Amino acid sequence: MPTISKVVENAICVGCGACSVRTDGAIPVRLNRDGYFSADLSGVDQPTLARASQVCPFAHEAADEDAISKAVIEPSPFTDSRIGRYRTIHAGRTASSDYLQGSSSGGLTSWMAGRLLEAGEVDGVIHVGRGDDGLFCYQLSHSLQALRAQRKSAYYSTTLAQVLQQIRGDERRYALVGVPCFIKAARLLCLEDPVLDRQLVFFLGLVCGHLKSAAFAELLAWQTGVAPDELEAVDFRVKAPDRDAGQYDFGALRKGSTEWLTRPTQSLRGGNWGHGMFQLNACNYCDDIFAETADVAFGDAWLPQYRQDWRGTNIVVTRHAILQRLLEEGFAKGEIELEELSADDASNSQGGNFRHRREGLAVRLADDISHGKWVPNKRVLPSVTAVTTQRLALIRNRRLISEASHALYRKARERSSLSYFLDNIEPYVRRYERCSRPAFYKRLYSRLKRYFSAAGKRVYG
């Protein structure tokens, strides 16, 4: 049986929509009752499922990130098991303060997409912005103005199903912006589909911790005083000049109002990414942090020397000569600021991510296998022995929070009761925090150690 069926049966579908595009819509991808997209395989025959399996990022029939990057990424001078192939690694940001204000981090993702448009390398950019269908969706931008109007991170479930079917065959060239599994899915599609292969010419990856269902935006907004039915728009990354870059605000806009209500994200239940609330189950089975199949990857430089600056700093990993050149030209013209980093720096900037997605993944795979569950093929081996007992408990408790958050939020919505959610999620959070405390102090100690040794060496500029 094609393993895409196992992906969907086990709720490992991330909703990317590659199966839908590959089968000309025979497999619909719909928003489910928990607020994330997933494929509906009912009534689909075996040959169609077999075609879809080849492009599903979690199916056994699809190539993994190493094989895809070998096939599609230009030979690169460096390879690192944490980052993939790469040419250069930098910390950086756009030089314009106004531009930075409207971006999530250093603004280099939208800057790079804009440079591709300006340089005539592409006719359009496929990226996520505010939409009519839910708060966010994939859309097309053909001008700098349209592209720049839709910046900042959307921690929100979307799908490529419609937009890729829309552009397929229009003879135009596009850059695609996406989280690593979406980039992988699009690469797999291109390997099977010569039309899309000619059209998708640049892949801009976003470093990814995990994806959230629509409930994440709703819960945070609800806590700022905007109930789900009144919610017009959200802003996941409002920069706060009096705090460090990681302590940004969340903003919510009520229908019919022009006044954004903001609260520090960390002060809201669900705002702590370590808790994994509303994380998609697919993300429990993912080992790609730096979008290894993308031509370039952008993330936040979560290193002490950059975190201090509230304006935000990107980490940028290039894997394509043209993108490397555009970056270097931007630096030479003073449009952007750049500073070289090492692979260790890049990896340290995503410490929690690696713990969750490498050692955490090993534990989750081992747990599932011991319960007789089907699991996708991963580059990480199943193991419960690679972590301390404390860490083991933390990994398992985070998974329980994720699972419980979806069901509890559904009930909270039915009852129109925010406190139903907050009261019932609390015991899960307390259990998690009991086992995270010693690990937190250990991490704080090593972070301070890194900070004081780096402070002497680096000055940003």
Residues at the interface with ligand FAD (CB under 6 A): 103-110, 113, 127-129, 150-155, 177-179, 206-209, 211, 298-300, 302, 314, 350, 353
- Residue type for position 302: W
Query: Which CB atom, from 155 or from 428, has the smaller least distance to ligand SF4?
Result: 155
| Stretch of 49-57, 71-79, 243-251, 314-322 lying at the interface with ligand SF4 (CB under 6 A) | 49-57
Assess 282 for contact with ligand SF4 (CB under 6 A): yes
Instruction: Name the one residue in this structure whose structure tokens are 């196992």.
Output: 6
**Which of the choices ligand FAD, ligand SF4, none does residue 48 contact, using the CB cut-off of 5 to 8 A by kind?**
none
Of the candidate residues 19, 214, 301, 341, the single one contacting ligand SF4 (CB under 6 A): 19
How far is the C-alpha of 410 from the C-alpha of 404, rounded, in Å?
A: 10
Q: Is 460 exposed, middle or buried (0-12, 13-18, 19+ CB in 10 A)?
A: middle
- Closest by CA position to 143, among listed 124, 121, 128, 171: 124
- Closest by CA position to 290, among listed 320, 327, 326, 317: 317
Sign of CA dihedral 159, 161, 162, 164: positive
Query: Which CB atom, from 53 or from 110, has the smaller least distance to ligand FAD?
Result: 110
What minimum distance in Å lies between the beta carbon of 157 and ligand SF4? 9
What minimum distance in Å lies between the beta carbon of 57 and ligand SF4? 6
Yes or no: say if 3 and 40 are a contact pair by the CB < 8 Å rule: no
Residue 317 tokens, joined: 């990993």
Query: Which CB atom, from 288 or from 367, has the smaller least distance to ligand SF4?
Result: 288
**Which of the choices ligand FAD, ligand SF4, none does residue 178 contact, using the CB cut-off of 5 to 8 A by kind?**
ligand FAD
Assess 211 for contact with ligand SF4 (CB under 6 A): yes
Binding mask 149-188 for ligand SF4 (x = CB under 6 A): ------------------------------xxx---x---
**456, containing H or E segment:** none
How far is the C-alpha of 279 from the C-alpha of 272, rounded, in Å?
A: 12
How far is the C-alpha of 401 from the C-alpha of 297, rounded, in Å?
A: 29
The phi and psi torsions of 58 (rounded to 5 degrees) equal -110, 0
Binding mask 368-407 for ligand SF4 (x = CB under 6 A): ----------------------------------------
**Which of the choices ligand FAD, ligand SF4, none does residue 223 contact, using the CB cut-off of 5 to 8 A by kind?**
none
Residue with smallest beta-carbon separation from ligand FAD: 209
How far is the C-alpha of 296 from the C-alpha of 111, rounded, in Å?
A: 13
Q: Is 371 exposed, middle or buried (0-12, 13-18, 19+ CB in 10 A)?
A: exposed
| Stretch of 254-262, 275-283, 334-342, 421-429 lying at the interface with ligand SF4 (CB under 6 A) | 275-283
How far is the C-alpha of 389 from the C-alpha of 366, rounded, in Å?
A: 15
Yes or no: say if 358 and 380 are a contact pair by the CB < 8 Å rule: yes
What minimum distance in Å lies between the beta carbon of 417 and ligand FAD? 28
Assess 251 for contact with ligand SF4 (CB under 6 A): no
Residue 307 tokens, joined: 């975190």
Rounded to the nearest angstrom, the gap between the alpha carbon of residue 45 and the centroid of all alpha carbons in its chain is: 32
What minimum distance in Å lies between the beta carbon of 356 and ligand SF4? 9
Of the candidate residues 2, 3, 6, 14, the single one contacting ligand SF4 (CB under 6 A): 14
What minimum distance in Å lies between the beta carbon of 134 and ligand SF4? 16
Residue numbers of the site for ligand SF4 (CB under 6 A)? 4, 7-8, 13-19, 29, 39, 55-58, 179-181, 185, 208, 210-211, 280, 282-283, 286, 288
